[in-house]
């Protein structure tokens, strides 16, 4: 049986009925990894032995008749910027090339406690700074639909798309989860800021970062979100909402739902294939009873520069901890200042260096007001755009990205062009609202992603719209070119 | 907003990055391209706008002041490039 093509909830059922053991399932996924990984290169570490040991333990638990949660025994991948106890976590950087975390990130621990089986740690851009994995210190991941295209900023989406993992955890500071999900034809959710604790997520820009799930269908998304959401005392910005049961949002109806179409997202620069798919999605939603209308979001074009300043400023402070003292790379020198400087120049790639210096610039005396404070004020304006839109609409629909996956090398040397590929996902991080990318068919051989955005802590509406589209169209699950 | 090579040299020092002269020139060029772009923000009048540092209305998150177990010393030191007598070891400071 081709187990790796099945969904999480289907696999869960098979194991529940004892038609397949967790060990068989894990072996099937590890075999799949062996089959495609030399092309895709989605992983930085494959945890074969650990996965098999954990799978056998899970089978014993089931044999004893213990009641197990729905994710028990399901093979998963976790991005390599999320700490996993005893398993190397590099953040795709030389500066953490040998770092073995002594603890689990809260989200990783919750999945482990729910019995999910970690099969490996996924590639990303160094410190998640990029949208293509081309800034990984180790190698680039390939798009499963086109060997010459990028997968977006997270290898985890590629892994889920080709069946190397049944679901994955990624992180999203400007769009990494959503954009890579869109480029690879899977579902990616950036939850509300604070919905999933960030403890153990290697910090890039702390007011923007959020951990979220990547899956192949909406039911799976609800199962993973149920497991990872909810307050944890180790992240004081995690919100004290009682974890709702997201399965209750799996409702097949959008009747009467008011959906806003931000005009600014449909202007110039949108690839014709993407625009056509968007129109098709709107027609479908209207046919299903939703009300779709245009809405003005006048500060959209200012979100990217404001985000750039804020993320670099926060990164310059967060990345100060990599100094060759407590973990990771150290390059020896005569004195401690020399050791810091040599370690950091060797350990960080050019893009990370540039962002640290830009952030340092934005926070320095003389530039703080004009640069950093200015960006925070623009953040308020972008926030007000969303507040106004949500007075009238239940959710917003946009393209996830202006284009489908771009070619490897097309933007690697142009930091700004790379950043602007996330123009539609970035405003969401500034405002902290939840947003989901949903695959919606193919344009010129590559998947197109729809982005749905809702109010703070209203992930439920995103799941409802996603579930309804999933039940009523055949566009949602594009198959990658790599034969399954 | 433009930045000189001397300013980049200073930023590199503050950022603890041992830039070569070549790197410095390259970074100055690329940083200036970005700063030009960031000038876009100056088209907006923000004189009466409050800054937003955070998105959630969270304030003063307290917890009870109770002693809790922390990471064992051996674990905390396990990743140290160099350690001695239960402490992280660094080269001489002066």
Per-residue pLDDT of chain A (484 residues; tens, 9 = 90+): 689 999 999 999 999 999 999 999 999 999 999 999 999 999 999 999 999 999 999 999 999 998 899 999 999 999 999 999 999 999 999 999 999 999 999 999 999 999 999 999 999 999 999 999 999 999 999 999 999 999 999 999 999 999 999 999 999 999 999 999 999 999 999 999 999 999 999 999 999 999 999 999 999 999 999 999 999 888 988 887 766 899 999 999 999 999 999 999 998 789 999 999 999 999 999 999 999 999 999 999 999 999 999 999 999 999 999 999 999 999 999 999 999 999 999 999 999 999 999 999 999 999 999 999 999 999 999 999 999 999 999 999 999 999 999 999 999 888 888 888 899 999 999 999 999 999 999 998 999 999 999 999 999 999 999 999 999 998 777 777 654 4
Give chain A's domains with CATH numbers.
3-251 (3.90.1300.10)
Residues of A in contact with B40 (CB under 8 A): 301-302, 305
Q: Are A271 and A403 in contact (CB under 8 A)?
A: yes
Could you give the count of Cα atoms lying within 13 Å of A408 in the half-sphere of its Cβ?
16
Q: Which residues, 6+ apart, have CB-to-CB distance to A448 below 8 Å? A: A182, A273, A274, A277, A278, A399, A404, A439, A440, A441, A442
Of the candidates A99, A353, A371, the beta carbon closest to that of B17 is on: A353
Of the candidates A99, A374, A380, the beta carbon closest to that of B41 is on: A374
Instruction: Give the tokens for residue A259.
Output: 């959906």
pLDDT at B27 over 80: yes
pLDDT in the model for residue A479: 74
Pairing of strands A395-399, A446-454: antiparallel
Kind and range of the H or E run holding B29: helix B21-38
Residue B24: which domain range? 5-42
Please report, for residues A244, A317, A380, the alpha-carbon distance to residue B58 in angstroms, rounded to integers and kept in the order given.
20, 22, 16
Pairing of strands A75-79, A117-122: parallel
Q: Is residue B29 part of a domain?
A: yes
- Letter string b/e over residues A311-346, b meaning 16 or more CB atoms within 10 A of that residue's CB: bbbbbbbbbeebbbbbbbbbbebeebeebbbbbbbe
Q: Are A183 and A157 in contact (CB under 8 A)?
A: yes
Residue A357 to residue B11, Cβ atoms within 8 A: yes
Q: How distant is the Cα of A233 from the closest Cα of chain B, in angstroms?
A: 8
Beta strands per DSSP E along A172-231: 187-190, 211-215
Of the candidates B37, B56, B81, the beta carbon closest to that of A194 is on: B56
Nearest CA in chain B to A364: B11
Q: Is residue B84 part of a domain?
A: no
Q: Are B32 and B7 in contact (CB under 8 A)?
A: no
Domain count across chain B: 1
Q: Is residue B74 part of a domain?
A: no
Interval A357-411: pLDDT, tens: 999 999 999 999 999 999 999 999 999 999 999 999 999 999 999 999 999 999 9
pLDDT in the model for residue A158: 97
Q: Are A167 and A74 in contact (CB under 8 A)?
A: yes
pLDDT in the model for residue A482: 58
Please report, for residues A23, A115, A228, the alpha-carbon distance to residue A19 in angstroms, rounded to integers and kept in the order given.
12, 18, 27
Residues of A in contact with B46 (CB under 8 A): 374, 377-378, 381
Question: Which of A409, A338, A342 is CA-nearest to residue A142?
Answer: A409
- Annotate A72-98 with DSSP letters as a single string: TT-EEEEETTB-BTTB---TT-GGGTT
pTM of the model: 0.96
pLDDT in the model for residue A200: 97
Q: How far apart are CA A21 and CA A312, in angstroms?
A: 47
Residues of A in contact with B23 (CB under 8 A): 345, 350, 353
Residue B81 to residue A329, Cβ atoms within 8 A: yes
Q: Which residues are paired to A407 by β-bridges?
A: A149
Q: Which residues, 6+ apart, have CB-to-CB distance to A134 below 8 Å? A: A125, A140, A150, A408, A409, A412
């Amino acid at each position: 049986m081709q187990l790796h093509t099945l969904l999480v909830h289907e696999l869960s059922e098979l194991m529940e009925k004892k038609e397949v053991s967790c060990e068989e399932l894990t072996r099937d996924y590890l075999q799949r990894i062996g089959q495609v990984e030399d092309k895709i290169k989605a992983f930085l570490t494959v945890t074969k032995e650990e996965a098999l040991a954990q799978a056998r333990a899970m089978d014993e638990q089931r044999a004893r008749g213990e009641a197990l949660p729905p994710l028990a025994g399901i093979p998963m991948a976790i991005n390599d910027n999320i700490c996993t106890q005893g398993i190397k976590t590099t953040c795709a950087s030389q500066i953490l090339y040998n770092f073995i975390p002594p603890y689990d990130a809260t989200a990783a621990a919750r999945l482990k406690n729910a019995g999910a089986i970690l099969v490996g740690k996924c590639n990303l851009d160094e410190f998640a700074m990029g949208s293509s994995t081309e800034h990984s210190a180790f190698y680039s991941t390939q798009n499963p639909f086109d060997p010459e295209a990028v997968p977006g900023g997270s290898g985890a989406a590629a892994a889920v798309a080709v069946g190397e993992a049944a679901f994955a955890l990624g992180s999203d500071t400007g769009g990494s989860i959503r954009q890579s999900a869109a480029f690879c034809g899977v579902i990616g959710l950036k939850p509300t800021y604070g919905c999933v604790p960030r403890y153990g997520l290697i910090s890039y820009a702390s007011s923007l970062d959020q951990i979220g799930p990547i899956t192949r269908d909406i039911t799976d998304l609800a199962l993973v979100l149920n497991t990872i959401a909810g307050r944890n005392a180790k992240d004081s910005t995690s919100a004290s909402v009682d974890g709702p049961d997201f399965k209750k949002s799996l409702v097949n109806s959008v009747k009467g739902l008011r959906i806003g179409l931000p005009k600014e997202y449909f202007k110039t620069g949108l690839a014709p294939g993407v625009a056509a798919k968007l129109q098709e999605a709107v027609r479908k939603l209207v046919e299903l009873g939703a009300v779709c209308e245009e809405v003005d979001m006048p500060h959209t074009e200012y979100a990217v520069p404001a985000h750039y300043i804020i993320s670099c400023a926060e990164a310059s402070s967060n990345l100060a901890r990599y100094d060759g003292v407590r973990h990771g790379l150290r390059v020896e020198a005569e004195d401690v200042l020399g050791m810091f400087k040599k370690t950091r120049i060797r350990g960080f790639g050019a893009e990370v260096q540039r962002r640290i210096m830009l952030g340092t610039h934005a926070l320095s005396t003389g530039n703080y007001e004009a640069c950093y404070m200015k960006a925070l004020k623009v953040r308020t304006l972008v926030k007000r755009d969303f507040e106004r839109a949500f007075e009238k609409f239940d959710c917003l629909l946009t393209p996830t990205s202006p284009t489908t996956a771009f070619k490897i090398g097309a933007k690697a040397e142009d930091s700004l062009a790379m950043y602007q590929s996330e123009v539609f996902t970035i405003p969401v991080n500034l405002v902290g609202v939840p947003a989901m990318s949903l695959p919606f068919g193919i344009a010129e051989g590559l998947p197109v992603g729809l982005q749905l955005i809702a109010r703070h802590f209203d992930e439920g509406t995103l799941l409802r719209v996603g579930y309804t589209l999933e039940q009523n169209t055949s566009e949602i699950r594009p198959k990658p070119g790599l034969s399954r | 907003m433009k930045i000189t090579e001397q300013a980049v040299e200073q930023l590199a020092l503050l950022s603890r990055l041992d830039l070569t002269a070549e790197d410095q020139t390259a970074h100055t060029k690329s940083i200036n391209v970005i700063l030009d772009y960031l000038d876009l923000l100056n088209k907006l009048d923000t004189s009466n706008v409050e800054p937003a540092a955070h998105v959630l209305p969270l304030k003063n998150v307290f917890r009870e002041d109770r002693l809790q177990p922390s990471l064992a010393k051996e674990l905390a030191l396990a990743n140290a490039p160099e350690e001695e007598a239960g402490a992280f070891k660094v080269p001489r400071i002066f």
